[in-house]
């Protein structure tokens, strides 16, 4: 527990600030913005933090919608991360409006309550849904001086520790030769045929990859008219496995499939690689502390999940570089799937916001512990040093 004075001041701050945080959550929810376009969300969060006395750096790491808000001086430095991008078509079906408002609320409450040495940061991390904003920030050195990073993710259950699949998005485009499909097909080379060939090749190699691997794709451009041989066609795939090394192995074989498809169809294939989302290392002391504060609010966490299929997040990359946690907090009924219209609906309810305040309280109290208690900081650092990433048992 943080000192009784700090705990009391955090409580008071949460009570004062929660109504405004609800507004922030609802207004971000009402204006869903796709990855790297989160101008409204980044501005509303930055402005609130600046008004509360945080020093604002906007547009960090070369991303206009990224920001870092800092208050205090020197080490230790605790960062609370906010995601705020939405999904195409379904809006906030991953509940990032709650991550944003909850992260802001935790940062504001802790900043108001904490009077010791150290720095509190709230870091705005754009484009979790495919753009890897945290990876860009990591590579730009945003987390170099950070001793621990905390965040939470809305879910249909409460769980502190989960493995995450390493993942890489790849865009493939094929360039062929256009021709009239009836008058002179012999002059054409179909880029669409190459894309179809690639899907067939991927399905052929699918049987011979580790059972933990996942390869899935969609055709994003298949030509314009049936009577024109398509000179251009494109697809997007995601390659996943339980480790980054596994994904890189898949990529080698995928690359060969692209080359073979181009060769077979007389076209040129071109690969554009997205960032590699790595596996995750869950810091145990941080996770256990957050779990204890959620339990105290009647939300006991489920046991760690370290097997089976999971999604991916760019928090993985951060967690391999510094102590980090990505707990899941139940904001909606059990069985509600993420990335659905149902979750979009729940992300704006009173119940979801109530759970978000509980998460913000747990993050602020854990942050208070981290800043006040050197022994706890040592435990966090030792766990980070001694533990490997969480990958399913028996995985390579
Ligand atoms: Zn998502
Ligand atoms: Zn998400």
Q: What are phi and psi of 59, to 5 degrees?
A: 65, 35
Q: Are residues 187 and 308 in the same domain?
A: no
Residue 85 lies in a domain: yes
CA of 93 to the centre of ligand 2 (A): 8
Strands 148-150 and 153-155, bridge-based pairing: unpaired
Q: Are residues 27 and 147 in the same domain?
A: yes
Which pLDDT value is given to residue 394? 60
CA of 85 to the centre of ligand 2 (A): 8
Q: Residue 74 belongs to a domain with what CATH number?
A: 3.40.630.10
- Contact call for residues 297 and 225 (beta carbons, < 8 A): no
Which pLDDT value is given to residue 36? 98
Which pLDDT value is given to residue 357? 98
Q: For residue 16, what are its two tokens?
A: 């004062």
Q: Residue 270 belongs to a domain with what CATH number?
A: 3.30.70.360
Long-range Cβ pairs for the range 375-382 (8 Å, 24+): 376/285, 376/289, 377/76, 377/147, 377/148, 379/285, 380/147, 380/148, 380/283, 380/285, 380/286, 380/323, 381/147, 381/323
CA of 373 to the centre of ligand 2 (A): 31
Nearest CA among 144, 99, 167, 116 for reference residue 326 = 99
CA of 228 to the centre of ligand 2 (A): 41
CA of 219 to the centre of ligand 1 (A): 21
Q: Are residues 150 and 289 in the same domain?
A: yes
CA of 339 to the centre of ligand 1 (A): 6
Residue ending a domain, choose from 246, 277, 308: 277
Written as tens digits, the pLDDT of the chain (396 aa) is 788 999 999 999 999 999 999 999 999 999 999 999 999 999 999 999 999 999 999 999 999 999 999 999 999 999 999 999 999 999 999 999 999 999 999 999 999 999 999 999 999 999 999 999 999 999 999 999 999 999 999 999 999 999 999 999 999 999 999 999 999 999 999 999 999 999 999 999 999 999 999 999 999 999 999 999 999 999 999 999 999 999 999 999 999 999 999 999 999 999 999 999 999 999 999 999 999 999 999 999 999 999 888 889 999 999 999 999 999 999 999 999 999 999 999 999 999 999 999 999 999 999 999 999 999 999 999 999 999 999 987 665
**Nearest ligand atom owner, CA of 129:** 1
Sign, Cα dihedral of 347, 27, 72, 12: negative
Residue ending a domain, choose from 220, 251, 277: 277
Write the CB contacts of 203 (distance below 8 Å, at least 6 apart in sequence). Answer: none
Strand intervals (E) in the chain: 55-58, 67-73, 77-82, 118-124, 148-150, 153-155, 166-175, 214-221, 232-241, 268-277, 328-330
For 128: left if phi > 0, alpha if psi spans -120 to 50, otherwise beta; the answer is: alpha
User: What's the number of domains the chain is made of?
Assistant: 2
Residue 340 lies in a domain: yes
Q: For residue 106, what are its two tokens?
A: 């935790």
Q: Which domain holds residue 228?
A: 168-277
Residue 376 lies in a domain: yes
Q: Are residues 44 and 143 in the same domain?
A: yes
CA of 93 to the centre of ligand 1 (A): 7
CA distance 13 to 30: 26
Beta bridge partners of 233: 174
**Nearest ligand atom owner, CA of 152:** 2
CA of 156 to the centre of ligand 1 (A): 13
Nearest CA among 282, 239, 306, 233 for reference residue 389 = 282
CA of 155 to the centre of ligand 1 (A): 10
Q: Which residue has the tokens 């504060």?
A: 293
Q: For residue 96, what are its two tokens?
A: 């990032």
Residue 391 lies in a domain: no
CA of 96 to the centre of ligand 2 (A): 6
Residue 395 lies in a domain: no
- Contact call for residues 116 and 368 (beta carbons, < 8 A): no
Residue 392 lies in a domain: no
Write the CB contacts of 21 (distance below 8 Å, at least 6 apart in sequence). Answer: 101, 102, 104, 105, 108, 356, 357, 360
Which pLDDT value is given to residue 171? 98
- Contact call for residues 161 and 390 (beta carbons, < 8 A): yes
Q: Are residues 30 and 154 in the same domain?
A: yes
């Amino acid at each position: 527990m943080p000192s009784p004075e700090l705990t009391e001041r955090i409580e008071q701050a949460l009570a004062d600030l929660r109504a405004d945080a609800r507004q922030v959550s609802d207004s971000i929810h009402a204006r869903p913005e796709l990855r790297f376009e989160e101008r409204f969300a980044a501005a509303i969060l930055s402005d609130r933090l600046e008004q509360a006395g945080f020093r604002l750096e906007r547009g960090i790491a070369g991303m206009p919608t990224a920001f870092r808000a800092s208050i205090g001086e020197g080490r230790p430095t605790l960062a609370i991360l906010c995601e705020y991008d939405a999904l195409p078509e379904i809006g906030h079906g991953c509940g990032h409006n709650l991550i944003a408002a909850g992260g802001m609320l935790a940062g504001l409450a802790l900043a108001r309550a904490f009077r010791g040495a150290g720095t509190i940061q709230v870091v705005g991390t754009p484009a979790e849904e495919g753009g890897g904003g945290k990876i860009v920030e990591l590579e730009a050195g945003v987390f170099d001086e950070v001793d621990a990073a905390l965040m939470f993710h809305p879910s249909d259950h409460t769980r502190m520790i989960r493995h995450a699949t390493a993942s890489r998005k790849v865009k493939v485009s094929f360039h062929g030769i256009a021709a009239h499909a009836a008058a002179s097909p012999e002059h054409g080379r179909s880029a669409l045929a190459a894309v179809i060939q690639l899907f067939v090749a991927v399905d052929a190699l699918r049987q011979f990859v580790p059972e933990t691997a996942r390869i899935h794709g969609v055709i994003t451009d298949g030509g314009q008219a049936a009577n024109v041989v398509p000179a251009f066609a494109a697809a997007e795939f995601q390659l996943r496995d339980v480790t980054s090394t596994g994904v890189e192995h898949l990529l080698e074989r995928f690359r060969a499939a692209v080359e073979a498809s181009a060769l077979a169809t007389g076209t040129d294939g071109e690969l554009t690689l997205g960032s590699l989302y790595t596996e995750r290392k869950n810091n145990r002391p941080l996770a256990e502390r957050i779990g204890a504060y959620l339990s105290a609010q009647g939300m006991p966490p489920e046991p760690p999940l370290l097997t089976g299929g999971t999604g991916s997040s760019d928090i993985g990359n951060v967690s391999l570089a510094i102590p980090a946690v990505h707990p899941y907090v139940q904001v909606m009924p059990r069985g509600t799937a993420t990335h659905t219209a149902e979750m979009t609906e729940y992300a704006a309810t009173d119940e979801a916001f109530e759970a978000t305040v509980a998460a913000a309280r747990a993050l602020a109290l854990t942050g208070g512990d981290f800043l006040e208690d050197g022994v706890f900081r040592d435990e966090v650092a030792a766990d980070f040093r001694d533990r490997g990433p969480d990958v399913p048992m028996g995985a390579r």
